[in-house]
Amino acid sequence: MSVLGKVRAWFRGEYSRKHKLITHFIKDGDERLFVEKKHECPACHEDLNQPELEEAMYVCPNCNHHFRITPWERIKFTADGGVFHEFASDLESQNPLDFPDYEKQIASDMKKTGLKEAVVTGICRIERKEVVMAIMAFQFRGGSVGSVVGEKVTRAMLLAAEKGLPIVIFTASGGMRMQEGIFSLMQMAKTSAAVNFLEERKIPLFIVLTDPTSGGTTASYGMLGDVILAEPGALVGFAGRRVLDGTIKEKLPDNFQTAEFQQEKGFVDAIVSRSDMRKTLSFLIEAHADAQRAWK
């Protein structure tokens, strides 16, 4: 980003926020903490240090292990100049069922992550092409979908439809948020209906499944993209392995519920490394733009 761009971003409060968030997770239960302490990769145990890891977009240069990252880091790696115009940032969860301690849990995750909810939504450019983007945060309540996450994802889709822009959603989620009960489950229907609206308007929806994506997120918009990409080694599934093991009483394959397994079964179109994600998304947006123009 140019100096002037940085100054402008600073005034918009974007630049300072991003940097604050990046240092935040390193101190708090992040897998990258292991690298900081042991100077090795938790997956392959080869020597690895923090600057080297950051340089490689938090992917182990030796074994290609993709570390979980925060939404603002994802934006930094995906959007042109890391510039992102966030919307619906003021939405905060209520406690519709008076679930014990729910407010406290939300407050604690807000403090821990600097986010207000488990998804960040906004508009940015990828290789000069304008897109709506939604990025989920597994660090916030396990990326669970309550009414706010469902609403923000839906608003992102509606905005894409209104502006005629493609939409990219990075998923990272344990499923629906149990503290909001039926209000959470209804988000599956709401977001799926919004996908249908995109379909009617011929707006392409690109899904990127990141580690981990499961439960109701997989069972709704996570599997409804026109193109579904996934990061290597990401856990992608619906119910957990133990639940299924216990139900069907059969030994499940070792790679069960990985992105690679889902690609083999036809649920994922392509596995894309983090370093190739930007150019892949750019190519897909461009390829679909012609079809969109033809339709109009």
Of 35-43, 81-89, 173-181, 209-217, which part binds Zn ion (CB under 5 A)? 35-43
Of 58-66, 89-97, 142-150, 186-194, which part binds Zn ion (CB under 5 A)? 58-66
Residue 66 binds Zn ion (CB under 5 A): no
CB of 128 to Zn ion, least distance (A): 34
Q: Which of 264, 82, 262, 244 is nearest to 171 (CA)?
A: 262
Tell which one of 41, 195, 235, 272 touches Zn ion (CB under 5 A).
41
Looking at beta carbons only, is 43 or 185 nearer to Zn ion?
43
Residue 43 binds Zn ion (CB under 5 A): yes
Looking at beta carbons only, is 44 or 270 nearer to Zn ion?
44
Tell which one of 1, 44, 189, 270 touches Zn ion (CB under 5 A).
44
Residue 56 binds Zn ion (CB under 5 A): no
Instruction: Give a three-class secondary structure readout of 74-127.
Output: HHHHHCHHHCCEECCCCCCCCCCCCCCCHHHHHHHHHHHHCCCCCEEEEEEEEC
Looking at beta carbons only, is 62 or 105 nearer to Zn ion?
62
Q: Which of 128, 136, 134, 123 is nearest to 85 (CA)?
A: 123
Other beta carbons within 10 angstroms of residue 251's beta carbon come to: 8
Tell which one of 60, 153, 208, 285 touches Zn ion (CB under 5 A).
60
Residues for the chain: how many in total? Answer: 296
Of 42-50, 84-92, 177-185, 233-241, which part binds Zn ion (CB under 5 A)? 42-50
For residue 261, give the H/E element and its range.
helix 259-264
Other beta carbons within 10 angstroms of residue 47's beta carbon come to: 12
Looking at beta carbons only, is 56 or 244 nearer to Zn ion?
56
Residue 172 binds Zn ion (CB under 5 A): no
Contacts of 35 (CB under 8 A, 6+ apart): 41, 42, 48, 49, 50, 53
Of 41-49, 163-171, 176-184, 218-226, which part binds Zn ion (CB under 5 A)? 41-49
Q: Which of 9, 144, 22 is nearest to 86 (CA)?
A: 9
List of residues contacting Zn ion (CB under 5 A): 41, 43-44, 60, 62-63, 65
